[in-house]
Structures are given as structure tokens and as C-alpha cells.
Amino acid sequence: MKKIIAWIGEIGPSPNFVAFQAHCWYAACMVMVSILLFKITPLMTIIMANASIIWKEFWFDLRYEKPAQTIVDGFRDTEGYECGVLIGIIFSFLIIHFGHMT
């Protein structure tokens, strides 16, 4: 992991930026899949996403992630996930309402 972080530092963006982007786009994809593919309502998707994000970041990662994660790391990751949830909701809305226009 240290080699990957060092390599990311060499090519440009900070590891925090890369981590934010990874969490953001992962969450956006999961939200879009749940809404567009599984037809889960946006409200239920938001509730399920937030519950799983909070559990993962503030319970699971604090106990099991190596190297150990701090609360600040959890909030940073949660920030990325929440931006991704918002992007996923917006993209899903646009696809549902304007996707038929070709």
C-alpha cells in the first residue's frame, strides 16, 4: 500500500484526492445501479446508502482497516461517498427523465 501511495504522489494528485474520487465514483455507480437497474426509490436508496456508509466508515474501518484509520479519515471517506450519492441521484434523474431523447 505504501508503494501505491508513493506512486500516486509521484504522478500528481495527492492520495487524499485520489481516495476522495474513488469513494465518490464508487458511490455514484452503486446509487445508479440501485435506482436504474433494481428500481429502488431514490429515498430508499439514500437511506440505505447512508446507513451502509456510516457503518462501514465508523464501525468496520475503525476496527479492521490496516493501517489503522482515524475518525478524520472516516469523515474524509464519508465526504467522498456522500458526493457520490448526490451525483448518482442527479445522473439517475437525468437518465430517467431525459434518456428517451435521442
The residues spanned by each domain of the chain are: 15-98
Nearest to 84 by CA among 9, 28, 39: 28
pLDDT for residue 4 = 75
Q: What is the mean pLDDT of residues 35-56?
A: 96
pLDDT computed for residue 7 by the predictor: 74
Query: Residue 10 region, left (φ>0) first, then alpha (ψ -120 to 50), else beta?
Result: alpha
Provide the pLDDT for residue 13.
74
pTM, two decimals, is 0.84
CA–CA distance, 10 with 78 (Å, rounded to integer):
25
